[in-house]
Structure 1
């Protein structure tokens, strides 16, 4: 209990806050710790190798960058394109890379970047290139000429040309259920499904917007497509029936991929990831048709990929940044090659589970126990007391400088600070005197605050009465100043608008109430 003469700092009025329930799955997606790298040019494509350690390739301008799937460090840089490269992708075994280009050619490389094959046939840029799931000898490409081509890589020959799209082809996906079935999406608003044994599409799906991305879901029976700000799920086995439409993005969805949620105590669940130029990444549970996680990034996103092991999630942006999310707690085996390093256990982790942290000779932990190690049972732990920071208005109130405390609170432009100070001054019977002692600049600061927050429902009851009292006390000063008169006119307009809104709400309530009573019968 406070003794005589003890000053108690004022505290903001507490209001109920909406609590968000955190599910085990949301904790899983939130466990990805994100870092970023910058290459200054848009990241148009991200593709993970299906085979461990799941390296990934990033396509940016005329360059392909490959990264280690464990350490996420650069492995190779491929600059063999004379123009813009598109859709860098790994062969299923990870031993070859392929990419399209602005020139219309498809090039094949080894992981070190040595060119091996060049597939010539498209007359316009090739934006989509992909290997089948289990075929190492063939590749599919789609270009701005509206043609889909099926290639024999070894002989550099074109096996089949599929025509049917009437605009640029920008995406596609091989079916995991059939080695012959492919889907391609185009700017003609259509998604077409092809059986490579025929030259005509076996199914056509009208997305309604230029199609930016298409991906088969793991079962092979459903297909997800993205165009505009809409993602649609189609039942392919059921004849192309539209199952669900997701409109959770505000702007164009640019890329889709499938990832896995590894939730402790639950079975592995597949999820659909989407990114948009609104900067958001959405994780979609397509079985229950709901968004289970949302992440905001500080740039427009053009591409997304997730490793098959669910250890890494990468999103590429329009300003050249790509954001690498590494899952916390994911086990990373130390490299066996190279010089031995002193290995110290991480806090709370012992030798029995094999998780160790390398400590370099220039680290303090190399010579003495680090701050992360837990103290022993007999150790004396000295905790440094935290310094309590007293706000400036509390310091002034302690000295009974009431007007100065009020002005200090107004400078914060925060109603959660200003309103408690006002209530304290009212309790001290110093509010009127503080308002009367304000000079014209300080009075204008007060009027700006009232302009902004007088109709805020949480504080309107107090601020409305306070504004009326200020006009009574300082009316002559306000009439003699154009700036203060302007703020009064704004204040009047805001109050009138709020009154009109309240009347409209009452009218709506009067219309709805009889309907609700009739529905209750």
Structure 2
């Protein structure tokens, strides 16, 4: 028995751009970017969210500090709720942060004062200034995650202090830094433990429960000034020093990993995915997303100016229910960028709207609506059938043998190719059908098979002008497609070799079909020349960029 002749396998075009990874697809859902200018174009120095606290947040808002004011935005609507500007005339607000219930805002300032504001009335509830307070700018204030009335502050006077809302004097003072203290936080899961970073290139761990001198429990030295610290757990810390981010293990006292993904100073750090991803922003204008398992960069964003602050604004009142809602980035130019992630019904509606708009542009709106009605009808039937209970007790069990599958029917051009009718096969595959038009994959498959059989010249030879028009039209349509350029090169080379003399004859005749062929050849020539010029310009640009990178 002779072996069965299988149909010609289709030629698959080379793959295009690499498919998106899960992380890239996720971060691309942060769309609908909103750019909000700050008053007087002052840089956005701080973006804080109450849900930084491990106990969870009941406040649906976040605070943005810029110049001499702190602005409170709604997490749900992204609209400005309150503006607190009760600072001195020449004072600059620093590190505005909401308590987790959203009722009190805490802020430092360049005047050295620490102030607590009622977010409802904007009244000053408490103010710490004078001999027992800080004497230089206060860049960091943070609420205690477990005690509603307790807070910490760090200042350029090299001290760290712990305060209570009900008292005028500090409960505890930490001394030991040798330069400005510009970042700090409470260590989650460790009651009374504070971590601070300073321009003396050190990170210090403090135990505020100890009385006496208030010396640091542990000191870690870094090669550059420390711009930001962020706890990743009760014993792990992310430290931004220079253009590096060090993952520090407080138990072993050693660095677990050093992230070197930025070209300039890293100014801010944030976590997302409930700690599964680490975001870093720097003066190079990049936000990089890192996997906290391998610490590789899995996604990123580029902004037009240096980044001073960064935060992930979450939704949900409990730790297990938190979802990343907004990506908030503060720029040196005074712009606040808010990218919002659509989820649930909002995401479905956005996709549906995009598909409907695309169908409207392509002129297939009626067909799209018809398909949607069929889809809705099918979903209704499935929803109805899900209420029924099919257990299958009375169903017949039928065991079938290993029957031979039915051979797939050949397309007309495949039959012509098998019979050696090469010209006929090319004419058939280039003839548009009523419903689908010309299938480019089938055309490439046939041309590749003809080239392998050395029959491409035979299929193109001895053609009248009207038989050349479909070939030239298809070539003109796909001449800029990099995946088809090799086979089109062979086709056009054979056409120029076979019909060079006839092209000259058609120029002197009144034949309309011949003039159409000449017109198509001229359009292909112009398109190839334009593409070659663009390629030359791109090559020149790449040379300039290589020189800049080398410099």
TM-score above 0.5: yes
Which residue does the alignment assign to 2:225? 210
2:165 to 153, 165, 186: 153
1:246 to 255, 259, 265: 259
The superposition leaves residues 144-179 of structure 1 with CA deviations (integer Å, 9 ceiling, x where unpaired) of 111101111222321111111111111011111112
2:246 to 226, 232, 236: 232
Which residue does the alignment assign to 2:48? 47
Pairwise CA distance, 1:312 = 1.3
Which residue does the alignment assign to 1:353? none
Aligned length: 362
Which residue does the alignment assign to 1:317? 331
The question of whether the paired residues in 1 share the 8 Å contact of 2:68 and 2:87 is answered with yes
Matched, 1:173 2:185: yes
The superposition leaves residues 445-478 of structure 1 with CA deviations (integer Å, 9 ceiling, x where unpaired) of xxxx69948999xxxxxxxxxxxxxxxxxxxxxx
| Separation (CA, whole Å) in 2 of partners of 1:127 and 1:455 | 45
Pairwise CA distance, 1:102 = 0.6
The superposition leaves residues 373-431 of structure 1 with CA deviations (integer Å, 9 ceiling, x where unpaired) of 96245989xx9x9xx9x99x9999838779x949x94xx6x647568xxxxxxxxxxxx
Pairwise CA distance, 1:20 = 3.2
Which residue does the alignment assign to 1:337? none
| Separation (CA, whole Å) in 2 of partners of 1:455 and 1:129 | 49
- Residues 318-337 of structure 1: matches in 2 within 5 Å? 318-329=332-343
The 3 A distance-change label for structure 1 pair 26 and 154 is same
Which residue does the alignment assign to 1:37? 36
| TM-score (ref. length: structure 1) | 0.62
Which residue does the alignment assign to 1:56? 62
- Residues 402-417 of structure 1: matches in 2 within 5 Å? 405=526, 409=529, 415=532, 417=534
Pairwise CA distance, 1:70 = 0.6
The question of whether the paired residues in 2 share the 8 Å contact of 1:254 and 1:301 is answered with yes
Which residue does the alignment assign to 1:289? 295
Which residue does the alignment assign to 1:26? 24
Name the SS for the 1:157 alignment partner: coil
| Separation (CA, whole Å) in 2 of partners of 1:450 and 1:279 | 25
Name the SS for the 1:67 alignment partner: strand
Which residue does the alignment assign to 1:487? none
| TM-score (ref. length: structure 2) | 0.59
| Separation (CA, whole Å) in 2 of partners of 1:194 and 1:450 | 56
Name the SS for the 2:171 alignment partner: strand
Pairwise CA distance, 1:25 = 2.6
Matched, 1:185 2:200: no
2:310 to 301, 304, 316: 304
Name the SS for the 2:101 alignment partner: coil
5+ residue gaps, structure 2: 1-12, 52-56, 316-323, 353-364, 375-434, 438-473, 481-515
5+ residue gaps, structure 1: 1-14, 261-267, 333-344, 350-370, 420-448, 457-493, 495-521
| Separation (CA, whole Å) in 1 of partners of 2:72 and 2:42 | 16
The 3 A distance-change label for structure 1 pair 246 and 376 is same
Which residue does the alignment assign to 1:375? 369
Pairwise CA distance, 1:52 = 3.8
Pairwise CA distance, 1:138 = 1.2
| Separation (CA, whole Å) in 1 of partners of 2:197 and 2:326 | 27
| Separation (CA, whole Å) in 1 of partners of 2:62 and 2:329 | 12
Pairwise CA distance, 1:90 = 1.2
2:268 to 244, 255, 273: 255
2:111 to 103, 113, 123: 103
The question of whether the paired residues in 2 share the 8 Å contact of 1:142 and 1:149 is answered with yes
2:134 to 98, 119, 122: 122
| Separation (CA, whole Å) in 2 of partners of 1:46 and 1:245 | 25
The question of whether the paired residues in 2 share the 8 Å contact of 1:37 and 1:322 is answered with yes
1:75 to 81, 84, 94: 81
RMSD after superposition: 3.7
- Segment of structure 1 superposing worse, 206-215 or 290-299: 290-299
Name the SS for the 1:25 alignment partner: helix
Pairwise CA distance, 1:26 = 2.5
